[in-house]
Chains A and B, each alone.
Chain A
Amino acid sequence: MRNKIVKELETTFSNQGDFFIEEELVDKTTIFLMGFKTLVDLPKSKLYIQQIEDSSRSAKALFMNLSNRINVNTEQLIEGILEGNLVIVSLDGKQNAVVNPFIQNLRSSVSEPKNESPIQSSTDAFGDDINTNVGMIRKRLTTTSLCHCSYQVGELEKRKLSMLYIEGRTPNALIEKVEQQLKGIKNDIETIDELNLQFGKRRFSPVSHLFATELPISAIHALKRNKIVLFLDNCPFALVFPNLLWDMLFSINDRNFPFILSFMLRFFRVIGLVATLILPALYVALVSVNPEVFKLDLALFVAKSREGIPLTAFLETIAMVVLVDLILEAIVRLPKSVGPAITMVGGIILGQAMVEAKLVSNLLVIVITAVVIASSSVIGMQNSLYIRLLKYPILILASLFGILGVCTGFIFTIIYLASLTSDDIPYMTFRIKKEGEIK
C-alpha cells in the first residue's frame, strides 16, 4: 500500500516516538502527511491543506500551491522533516512537497530559566510540556541520529517519559540498560528522586544519578557527550543520565568565553568546591586542635579574637553553619518580596550582633561567609546542596582529630564519590566513551 519513499522515511524515523504518518484523501487519491508531532501542529495543518485543496483543480496543482519545494529527493525530504516541516507524498510516490506547516506553539511558552542564570548565552528554558521540550531539542539538533523513545510509566497515572540519545554515540549497552530500567518501572513516578531510584539503590546517597538542567544548550551538550537525556511530563527539566562530577564544575556556557577565561571560571569552581568542604572544618581544626600550625603572630591574633567567647570552636562553628543553611532555606521558602528582608536581618544578626555580643569570633564570620559564597559557585542547585551536606561529616571529624580529621574526612569524601557508579559508569569519570570506542 505504502510506496517506497514513505517506507524509507518510516524506517529512517522508526526510532522516533513523535514521528507520524497520516493518510489523507485528496481529490480521490491518498496523500501521506509526515512530520514530527512535537514540531508540527497537525490539525491546523490539515485544515490548511483542505482549504488549499478546495481552490486547486488537481492533486498536482495542490502540491504546486502548497509549496515551492516540490518533487525533491529523499534526502531533502528527511532534512525537511527534521527542520520541522510537514512533508506530503502522493500515493504513487511520484509527487512530494515540503510544506511550511503551522508550527507547534513552542516559543510562547518558553520562559527564562528560574534556577540558573546563564551569561552570554540563549536564555530559553524548558517548560512543562514534554512535546515542547523535545521539540526544543529537535530544533537545535537537526540530525537523524537523534533518537527519541517514549514511555508511559506508572501504576495509577500513566506518566509520559521520553528518552533521547544520539545513535552511534551513546554506548548501546548503556541504552539497553536504561531502557530496561525504564520499562521496569512499576510504581508511580511523582518526583525526580523516584525516577532516580529506578537506576539503582542510592537511598542514603546525596548524589543523584540524574543531573537536572533547565537549559536546552546543556541538554544538547550532554547528548553530544554520549549521555542520555530524559524528559518527564510536566517537569521543566531535562534530566541528564548519568550525572558526573564534572557536570558540577564544567558548563558548556563557559566556553562562550575564550579558553583562558573559561579555565579560570572552572578553576574557581574547584576552589569553591574544596573550600566549602574543608573551610569550616579547617577553622575548627586550627583553632581548637592544632593551633601550632599558625605562625606566632597569627596565633596571637586568633587567640585575641576568640578571647572571652564562651562557646567552644566546634559549637560556634556548627551553630553558625546550621544558621546559615537555615537562612538559605528560608530565602527559598519566602515570597520574593519578603526574601530580601530575611537576608538583611540575617546579615545584621550574624555579621554584627553575634560578634559584638562576643558569642562567636569575627574570624569565624569571615570563614562562614566565604563558605556560603563558595558553595554557590558550583553548577546546579542540587550539587550545591549536596556539597553543603558533605561538609558536616568533615567538620565533625575535624573537631575530634584536628587537621588529621580534615584530611581523612576529605580523603574519605573523595573515596566515597569515587565509589559511586550509575549503570557501571563511574561518577568520577571524565567522559563517557563513544559507542565502539576502545580504551
Chain B
Amino acid sequence: MVKSKRKPLNEIMGSIQAYSRIFNIGCGGCASVCLAGGQREVNALNSEITAELKSQGLHKQIDGYTIERQCNNQFFQGLDEIVQKYDCLLSMACGAGVQFLAERFPTKPVFPALNTISIGIDRDIGLYEERCRACGECVLGYTGGICPVTRCAKSLFNGPCGGTNKGKCEISSEIPCAWQEIYVRLKDQNRLNDIRKIRPVMLWQNQVQRMTVQESYRQRYAQS
C-alpha cells in the first residue's frame, strides 16, 4: 500500500498560519494503515497544534474528522456542509487524497500534513519498506520477484554494477544489492537464463499522468 509520513510540525504550522478555522481531515485508507493519517493521528496532530498555538499565545479553532478514504469521491459526500465552516483544510491523506480533496473543495485552501513516501510493505509495526515505483511495466517475472527499478539504486535492468560490495549496494553497507539478490534467487531456482539475455531499454510509461481503464469498463468510458 501507499506509505506516508507526517510532515514536521513547524511546516504544518507555517501552512495554517494565516487561517483561524482549520479542519483536519484524516484518511481511513493507506494513511491510517501505516499509522500516519488515521483518526488517531488526526487527534494527535490537533493536540500538538493546539499546544503549539498555546505556547505562542495564539488561538485558532481546530477540528478533525476522518473519512473512509480520500481517493474516492463518494466518501467526501458527508463533508460538503461542514467544510464551509472552516477557512482552510489540512489533509492527512497521501498526495492523491490531498489532490482529490482540493478538487472537491476548490474554493478552500488545502494543505498536506503528510509526505507521501512509497508503495511498500510492512516490515513490522511502523516500519515500512518501499517495493514498487509504479513504473507501469512490471519486470518482476524475469528478476525473481525482486524489483530492479525500486531496489537497485541505479534502476539497472542488466545488473549488477561494479559497485557491489560484499553483497551490499555501493551507496550503503546497510542496503543489500538488489542484483546480488536477483542472482542468488534465480540461481537457486535454476533460472539464470532469465538474466543472461540483454534486457532492452525500458519504454518508460510513467512520464505522463496515466489514466487506468479496466478492460471490463472500457465500453462504459469509451468516448462517443
Q: Do A and B come from the same complex?
A: no
